[in-house]
A = this chain, B = another copy of it.
Amino acid sequence: MYLEEYTVGMEREFGSKTVSREEVIRFAKEFDPQPFHIDEAAAKDTMFGGLIASGWHTCAMLMRMLCDEFLIDDEGSLGSGGVDEIRWKMPVRPGDTLRVRSCVTEVRGSESKPDRGIVRSDYSVINQDDQVVMTTKSMGFFLKRPV
């Protein structure tokens, strides 16, 4: 998709990722080995009451759903320079099935590079009970449609 195809207010809902206990533990053992992410018994005694996914694992699963939905093979996408906010609102637990809701909040042409622009979007990661488990404000660079 090129920059012209994005409009403020545009909403999409997509993705379906069920996260297993094995995936939660494997990610956390490598990147976030806090007890409530890797040890079922220890997790029971924490404020979470059981094993939960690392917040960074949820970010990574969101990224995979974005790739599958539109980033892979998108001739317009030029990547991202960052993220403006991440909020981990609810625990993600083994067996949860996550999806994404996105809303475009800004579309703006670049002042220095006339062939491209910036799209800002709000993303929510939602579980099978329609609870928002994570939100983030993201920006991506996109080419304008070639003339």
A residues near B (Cβ < 8 Å) are: 27, 30-34, 47, 54-56, 59-61, 63-64, 67, 71-72, 78-88
Minimum distance in angstroms from A24 CB to a CB of chain B: 13
Q: CB < 8 Å: which of B55, B60, B82, B84 contacts A31?
A: B60
Minimum distance in angstroms from A102 CB to a CB of chain B: 17
Question: In the bound complex, how far is the Cα of B83 from the Cα of A78, in angstroms?
Answer: 24
User: Is the beta-carbon distance between A72 and B34 smaller than 8 angstroms?
Assistant: yes
Minimum distance in angstroms from A110 CB to a CB of chain B: 15
Q: Which 9 A-B pairs have the closest CB atoms?
A: A31-B60, A82-B87, A83-B86, A82-B86, A31-B64, A32-B63, A56-B60, A56-B63, A31-B63
**Which chain B residues border A80 with CB–CB below 8 Å?**
55, 88
**Which chain B residues border A63 with CB–CB below 8 Å?**
31-32, 54, 56
User: Is the beta-carbon distance between B85 and A81 smaller than 8 angstroms?
Assistant: no
Q: CB < 8 Å: which of B32, B64, B82, B86 contacts A60?
A: B32
**Which chain B residues border A56 with CB–CB below 8 Å?**
56, 59-60, 63
User: Is the beta-carbon distance between A82 and B88 smaller than 8 angstroms?
Assistant: yes
Minimum distance in angstroms from A23 CB to a CB of chain B: 9
User: Is the beta-carbon distance between A67 and B30 smaller than 8 angstroms?
Assistant: no
Minimum distance in angstroms from A56 CB to a CB of chain B: 5
User: Is the beta-carbon distance between B88 and A81 smaller than 8 angstroms?
Assistant: yes
**Which chain B residues border A84 with CB–CB below 8 Å?**
84-85
